[in-house]
Amino acid sequence: MSDVKKIATRESYGKALAELGAEYPNLVVLDADLAGATKTGVFKKAFPDRFYDCGIAEGNMMTIAAGLSTTGLIPFASTFAMFAAGRAFEQVRNSIGYPHLNVKIGATHAGISVGEDGASHQCLEDLALMRTIPGMVVMCPADDIEARAAVKAALDYEGPVYLRFGRAAVPVINDEDYKFEIGKGKLFREGSDVTVLANGICVSAAIEAAEMLKADGIDAEVINICTIKPLDEDLILASAKKTGKVVTAEEHSIIGGLGGAVAELLSEKLPTPLCRIGVRDRFGESGPAAELIHKYELDAEGIAKQIKAFMK
């Protein structure tokens, strides 16, 4: 996919906020001294009176966002995933989740593709943490088009939403007319031998891996699961029943994220052989993003390798 246009979903986040800001005067943006990195600086430039830099005080930012939401405003609280889901978890849980307030959390720089910032900033637990908060919608878009659509869907949704964005540029794989809907997956490739459920950067890699697997006689069905809470249970179960084997692929710990959510669903409703591809109960490390993705076998080559082993 070297010839495919690539855009980081954090760029998409900033662009979407600025575009929507013109249409929604009640949209406000909060950041924690990272407007350049999270790309919320684009919104700040367009609407300086509706942008609040809360400094390096992420917990405080979440409570401010909670308060603003009670006045009819729709706040997007933005920072790195490690700080949004990790450092500010208590405030997200108690001040936003518990009263079910209309706050949107834009979490950028998730996963090992953060690269040289290292293990302390490579949040691999955020989806698991946010899934545990009752009523929290959790999304991890795959490309620029889906990311911008997810921001709009979050804006229109009444209640708390966690949006996960990446630092690294990823291929644009959706068409401009893509109709995004919270809780609905998207079938990218039909197959008969194994179902591959992916999100974030792993969607484009899974599509490429499926093409590689054809040489081994493996026909893989690839589905993008952007929303891991609520899951598209009907689509997942139908595909699992069709192929009889399921693989999940995510730039996250295999514990509690997409793999955990699918394991819970299948174990309760349709016991099916399952392989979870992701980071296996360890921290990340410092290094170039592309090299880390390859080392942790989250690129097309690594995903294809793990699927072949699973199919044996």
The residues carrying an active-site annotation are 58
CB 26 within 8 A of CB 74: yes
Is residue 107 within 8 A of residue 167, CB to CB? The reply is: no
Kindly list the distances between the CA atom of residue 146 and the CA atoms of 76, 179, 238, 296, in Å, as whole numbers in the listed order: 18, 9, 23, 25
For residue 204, give both structure tokens.
């484009």
Q: Burial level of 158, CB count in 10 A (0-12/13-18/19+)?
A: exposed
CA distance 171 to 157: 27
Q: Any alpha helices (H) in 124-250, and if so which ranges? A: 126-131, 144-156, 202-213, 233-243
Tell me the β-bridge partners of 29.
51, 76
C-alpha of 102 from chain center:
19
Block residue for tokens 């630092």: 167
- For 271, left (φ over 0), alpha (ψ -120 to 50), or beta? beta
Burial of residue 301 (number of CB atoms within 10 Å: 0-12, 13-18, 19+): middle
Query: What residues form DSSP beta bridges with 189?
Result: 222
Q: What residues contact residue 232 under an 8 Å CB cut-off, 6+ apart? A: 183, 184, 185, 225
